[in-house]
Amino acid sequence: MYTQFLPVTREEMLGRGISRPDFVYVTGDAYVDHPSFGAAIISRVLEHAGYSVAILAQPDYKTCDDFKRFGKPRLGFLATSGNIDSMVAHYSVSKHRRKTDYYSPGGKTGLRPDRAVIVYCNRIREAYGDVPVIIGGLEASLRRFAHYDYWEDRVRRSILVDSRADILSYGMGEKSILRIAELLDKGVPVKKIHDVRGTVYLTSEDDTPHFDFVGGYDYDDLKTDKKLYARAFGEQYAEQDHINGRAVTERYGARLLVQNPPMPPLTRQELDEIYALPYTRNYHPMYEEKGGVPAIEEIKFSITHNRGCFGGCNFCALAFHQGRSVSSRSIESVVEEAKYIAAMPDFKGYIHDVGGPTANFRFPSCDRQLTDGMCKNRKCLAPKPCKQLKVSHKEYVELLRQVEQVKGVKKVFIRSGVRFDYLMLDPDDSFFRKLVRDHVSGQLKVAPEHCCDSVLMNMGKPPISVYNAFRKKYFQLNGQYGKNQFLVPYLISSHPGSTLKDAVELALYLRTFSCMPEQVQDFYPTPGTASTVMFYTGINPLNGRSVYVERDPEIKRMQRALLQYNRRENHELVRRALIKCGRGDLIGYGEKCLVPPQRGAGKGKGAAGNESARNGKNTQAGSRKATGNGYNKTAKTGQASAAKGRKAAQRGKQK
- Taking only the tens place, the pLDDT of each residue in 328-362 is 999 999 999 999 999 999 999 999 999 999 999 99
The conformational region for residue 386 under phi > 0 = left, psi -120 to 50 = alpha, else beta, is beta
Q: Residue 585 has what pLDDT? A: 96
SS percent in the chain: helix, strand, coil, step 5? 40, 15, 50
- Taking only the tens place, the pLDDT of each residue in 167-207 is 999 999 999 999 999 999 999 999 999 999 999 999 999 99
Integer Cα distance of 470 and 46 in angstroms: 44
Look at the alpha carbons of 541, 581, 552, 96 in this order and tell me if their dihedral is positive or negative. negative
In angstroms, the Cα distances linking 385 to 43, 164, 209, 380, 392 are: 39, 43, 37, 6, 14
In angstroms, the Cα distances linking 450 to 127, 447, 463 are: 50, 9, 9
Integer Cα distance of 352 and 483 in angstroms: 19
- What is the four-CA torsion angle of 224, 227, 231, 233, rounded to 10 degrees? 50
CATH architecture assigned to 10-259 = 3-Layer(aba) Sandwich (3.40)
Confidence of residue 608 (pLDDT cuts 50, 70, 90): very low
Integer Cα distance of 158 and 173 in angstroms: 18
Q: β-strand 76-80 against 154-156: which pairing, if any? A: unpaired
Confidence of residue 3 (pLDDT cuts 50, 70, 90): low
Q: Residue 515 has what pLDDT? A: 84
Confidence of residue 298 (pLDDT cuts 50, 70, 90): confident
Residue 231 contacts residue 538 (beta carbons within 8 Å) = no
Average pLDDT, the chain: 91
The conformational region for residue 588 under phi > 0 = left, psi -120 to 50 = alpha, else beta, is left
Q: Using alpha carbons, select from 176, 181, 319 the residue that is nearest to residue 260.
A: 176
DSSP string, 576-631: HHHHHTT-GGGBSSSTT-SBPPPTTS---TT---SHHHHHHHHHHHHHHTTTSSS-
The yes-or-no verdict on residue 122 having pLDDT over 80 is: yes
Full-model pTM = 0.89
Q: Using alpha carbons, select from 94, 45, 597, 36 the residue that is nearest to residue 341.
A: 36
Q: Residue 653 has what pLDDT? A: 33
Quick check: helix, strand or coil at residue 332? helix
CATH architecture assigned to 301-441 = 2-Layer Sandwich (3.30)
Residue 522 phi, psi (nearest 5): -65, 145
- Taking only the tens place, the pLDDT of each residue in 19-49 is 999 999 999 999 999 999 999 999 999 999 9
**What residue segments make up the domains of the chain, in order of their start?**
10-259, 301-441, 473-641+649-655
The yes-or-no verdict on residue 470 having pLDDT over 70 is: yes
Q: β-strand 199-204 against 167-169: which pairing, if any? A: antiparallel
Integer Cα distance of 506 and 50 in angstroms: 55
In 10 A of CB 604, how many CB atoms?
Answer: 14
- Taking only the tens place, the pLDDT of each residue in 152-170 is 999 999 999 999 999 999 9
C-alpha of 393 from chain center:
23
Question: Range with the lowest mean pLDDT among 258-262, 360-364, 581-585, 633-637?
Answer: 633-637
The yes-or-no verdict on residue 618 having pLDDT over 50 is: no
- CB proximity list for 507: less than 8 A, separation 6 or greater: 562, 563, 565, 574, 594
Average of per-residue pLDDT across 366-380: 91
